[in-house]
Amino acid sequence: MDATEARKLIGKMIRANRLHRTYVEKTTRDAGIHRSQHHILIYLMKATTPPSQKELAAAFEITPAAIAMSLKKMEQKGLIERITSPDDSRVNLIAISEKGREIMECNKLLMEKTDRAMIEGVTESEFETFDAVLDKFVSNLLMLGAEDETPPYFKK
């Protein structure tokens, strides 16, 4: 494959990524939440115990002030609840509220529908090849010195 064909294929992959991201952002916006809030809610849904505000800031690699701002807006919308830590009354633990859980369940169904539509007609063999190619892309970019800014909670 020559460089021009490779650039076209990489462009298609980037376009698919952007289309997916903008569609997801639209569905979460329609539900009344911002993309970063959606990520926080996903994290809270997966948490086995409610994290502290400080732990959330560390998980998302953002400042405590930035997470505080997001959480304040989310609390005003009724998406999260603050719980006083039984171990330290100065620490607030953050839990997803019932309203937040309901929104996330609706979003999960929308995402599953989106994913099914996106993969329509793709064979198992094509998936295996695509998976191997994506792994190679990531490996090659890391070898070039690209910084992996993917938050730790997404790498799992």
Count CB-CB contacts under 10 A for residue 93.
20
Is residue 114 included in any domain, yes or no? yes
Is residue 70 included in any domain, yes or no? yes
Tell me the per-residue pLDDT of 25-52, one tens digit each, with 9 for 90 and over.
Answer: 888 787 788 888 988 999 999 999 999 9
| 108: CATH | 1.10.10.10
Q: List the domain range (segments joined by +) for residue 75.
A: 37-120
Q: Which residue has the higher pLDDT, 5 or 151?
A: 5
Q: Which residue has the higher pLDDT, 25 or 4?
A: 4
Is residue 92 included in any domain, yes or no? yes
Tokens 């997916």 -> residue: 20
Tell me the per-residue pLDDT of 79-116, one tens digit each, with 9 for 90 and over.
Answer: 999 999 888 888 889 999 999 999 999 888 888 999 99
Mean of the per-residue pLDDT values of the chain? 90
Instruction: Count the domains in the chain.
Output: 1
Which pLDDT belongs to residue 36?
84
Residue 77 contacts residue 104 (beta carbons within 8 Å): no
Q: Is the dihedral of CA 88, 73, 46, 63 positive or negative?
A: negative
pLDDT higher than 80, residue 154: no
